[in-house]
Structure 1
Amino acid sequence: MAQDQKRTSFIKTIVYTTLALIAFAANSVICRLALKDGAIDPGMFTSIRLVSGATILIVLVFLSKDRRLEKSKGSWTSAGMLFLYATAFSYAYVSLETGIGALIIFGTVQITMIASSLIAGYRMNNMEWIGILLALGGFLYLLLPGASAPSLGGFVLMTLSGIGWGVYSLRGKNSKHPLVDTAYNFLRSLPFLILLLYFLAQESNYSTKGILLALLSGIVTSGIGYTIWYAALKGLNSIQASIVQLLVPVIAAIGGVVFIGELISLRLMASSLMILGGILLLILKKIPTKK
């Protein structure tokens, strides 16, 4: 009986993790698909995504019969980081291709979390320094002038998005009720959206296609996707969770080829190996060895 339960739990973890990673990558594909041809402007896409995400999360909280929304530890700081992530993410994908954008944001998230450990007093050994230098070298190589280099503005915006998501993740690391906290933080992001829409009211541009893609991103790949990820985390330790997320840029790049017709350049392949390889070195070094 116990063995069957373990097998069932293992299978659930595999399924939930796979679906969550696809959802994370799909966010990049959907956002790029919506913004590439101007089906919707970045501000409107962000607004619809966060509002619809907040709506589905609140529905999920009540369906789960969890009535602790008023006791959530969600904060305005976390909501601000969520807003920074979502807004910079949308504006970056106006000029960045899908795979490059996903590589930048997930690389930045991991580096942000590593930097947090350094600030807290953690001291890296030689192997870890090699890993961080390799990852940073990958970013520098990605930015070298050339036909396949990403726009500097898009790179900066996606880096800001990664920092926002990294800080948001760090703040939510010890959450006892992540679904409730996330729902509350999505709600708290709405005043920021009102300010954004106020300043960009005259620049708004949207179509039926753009709205549907934004709703798909908010409801399915963000709201439901994050919920599935929380379910997956129950069966993953922090090292495993960090490692599997390195697959997201790869999945996103494949999605960009299949759904948008983008090409994978040699520069993207090389920089991906450097960035993800360097981060993998840092993560693997944290795995305790048996004596």
Structure 2
Amino acid sequence: MQANTYWKSNSLLLLTALIWGFSFVAQRLGMVYLQPFTFNGVRFTVGTLSLLPVVFFLRTKQKKEHRAPLLSKTGIFGGFALGGALFLGASLQQTGILYTTAGKAGFITGLYVIMVPLLGLFWKQQTNWSIWVGALLAAAGMFLLSVTESFSIGKGDLLVLGSALFWAVHVQLIARFSKRYDVLLLSLYQFIFCALLSFGVAINIEEIVFQNILAAKLPIFVTGVLSVGVAYTLQTVAQKNANPAHAAILLSLESVFAAFGGWLFLNELLSLRAFAGCMLMLTGMLFSQIFTGKRNHALL
């Protein structure tokens, strides 16, 4: 991998983590007005609409022979697989946020940093030793933040923990499909499928009130345009040139940003134990970044 490509991918993944981290605050505020599946259905619809002009603009700049077909088996199947994982992860996470804080939800979600390399073993992916050490440090940090001294964990925390598994699956699926099909079209298709699945459930088990959707316009904008339209697309583009396990370490920094956002906007205070957890997370990310970066440069 070229040095510029390596650092560009890392920068995009870090920006993605920043947006996602602060989006936990907006997701929690959105629950004041809307139920989980309705909220997800609306925000992924907004994310789809925000991405449409970008997709069509960039396609007009491409030569016809270089354009990926709008409809293909690979694109549709990839979009459905990604959208399904996205739907399950987002649904469990959004429901869990009803019962826990934004900061805790962010850190528990970050457990997928451990799950990604474990899943990668099933695909016979090579994992650098530094990623495992960084992942263990990150997991220790999340333990300090999320688990009480009596080793208890709440309903919301368990739901968010379940979402972490599907985020790990999502990271692995992106790594597979982004090399085989246009990344922006993949993003578009996954948002469409996720929105349809979310609305399908919402229509059956929730009450959709248009006035409440209007009242939640700011959280919807932040989570729809920024978190979905911008961040998920950045993730898909960046992962085209990134090791899945290393990407997961960087993306898990959303936990730190979520905790900071919860303190800044929702007055969620961090204890000394929780702060120590944040520092371990940061240490794990830096450890993975430095040693993986050295290895990549050695291969140039």
CA distance in structure 2 between the partners assigned to 1:135 and 1:17 by the alignment: 17
The Cα offsets for residues 129-155 of structure 1, whole Å up to 9 and x where unpaired, read as 766655555455432256xx8852111
CA distance in structure 2 between the partners assigned to 1:286 and 1:12 by the alignment: 15
Which of these residues, 193, 199, 213, is aligned with residue 198 of structure 2? 193
The Cα offsets for residues 86-127 of structure 1, whole Å up to 9 and x where unpaired, read as 111211211222222111112x22112111133345798998
CA distance in structure 2 between the partners assigned to 1:31 and 1:111 by the alignment: 24
Where 1:74 maps in the other structure, the secondary structure is helix
Corresponding position: 1:32 with 2:28? yes
The count of residues paired between Structure 1 and Structure 2 equals 280
CA distance in structure 2 between the partners assigned to 1:55 and 1:21 by the alignment: 22
The Cα offsets for residues 9-47 of structure 1, whole Å up to 9 and x where unpaired, read as 999778755643332222212112222xx2322222111
Given the superposition, is the C-alpha separation of residues 190 and 169 from structure 1 closer, same or farther in structure 2, using an over 3 Å criterion? Answer: same
Given the superposition, is the C-alpha separation of residues 10 and 189 from structure 1 closer, same or farther in structure 2, using an over 3 Å criterion? Answer: closer
Which of these residues, 222, 225, 228, is aligned with residue 231 of structure 2? 225
Higher mean alpha-carbon deviation, 249-258 vs 235-244, is at: 235-244
- AA matched with 1:25: G
Which of these residues, 252, 256, 261, is aligned with residue 250 of structure 1? 256
CA distance in structure 2 between the partners assigned to 1:14 and 1:138 by the alignment: 21
- AA matched with 1:96: T
Which residue is equivalent to 2:271? 265
- 1:277 Cα shift? 4.4
CA distance in structure 2 between the partners assigned to 1:81 and 1:33 by the alignment: 24
Alpha-carbon contact 2:83-2:193 (below 8 Å) kept: yes
- AA matched with 1:83: F
CA distance in structure 2 between the partners assigned to 1:261 and 1:162 by the alignment: 25
Which residue is equivalent to 2:62? none
- 1:223 Cα shift? 0.6
Which residue is equivalent to 2:117? 114
- AA matched with 2:277: S
- 1:254 Cα shift? 1.7
- AA matched with 1:161: S
Given the superposition, is the C-alpha separation of residues 85 and 39 from structure 1 closer, same or farther in structure 2, using an over 3 Å criterion? Answer: same
Which residue is equivalent to 2:105? 101
- AA matched with 2:205: L
- AA matched with 1:49: R
- AA matched with 1:21: A
Which residue is equivalent to 2:64? none
CA distance in structure 2 between the partners assigned to 1:123 and 1:275 by the alignment: 23
Alpha-carbon contact 1:104-1:159 (below 8 Å) kept: yes
CA distance in structure 2 between the partners assigned to 1:67 and 1:129 by the alignment: 36
Which of these residues, 167, 181, 184, is aligned with residue 179 of structure 1? 184
Structure 1: runs of 5 or more not aligned: 1-5
Alpha-carbon contact 1:242-1:283 (below 8 Å) kept: no
Which of these residues, 28, 37, 40, is aligned with residue 43 of structure 1? 37
CA distance in structure 1 between the partners assigned to 2:16 and 2:134 by the alignment: 26
TM-score relative to the length of structure 1: 0.77
CA distance in structure 1 between the partners assigned to 2:139 and 2:249 by the alignment: 18
Where 2:71 maps in the other structure, the secondary structure is helix
Which residue is equivalent to 1:3? none
- AA matched with 2:254: V
The Cα offsets for residues 176-217 of structure 1, whole Å up to 9 and x where unpaired, read as 311111111221224422331133234869353324312331
Alpha-carbon contact 1:48-1:215 (below 8 Å) kept: no
CA distance in structure 1 between the partners assigned to 2:204 and 2:182 by the alignment: 34
Where 1:144 maps in the other structure, the secondary structure is coil
Which residue is equivalent to 1:68? 69
Higher mean alpha-carbon deviation, 114-123 vs 81-90, is at: 114-123
CA distance in structure 2 between the partners assigned to 1:233 and 1:132 by the alignment: 18
Identity %: 23
Matches within 5 A, 1:78-227: 78-106=82-110, 108-120=111-123, 135-141=138-144, 142-145=146-149, 152-174=154-176, 175=178, 176-202=181-207, 206=212, 208-227=214-233
Where 1:206 maps in the other structure, the secondary structure is helix
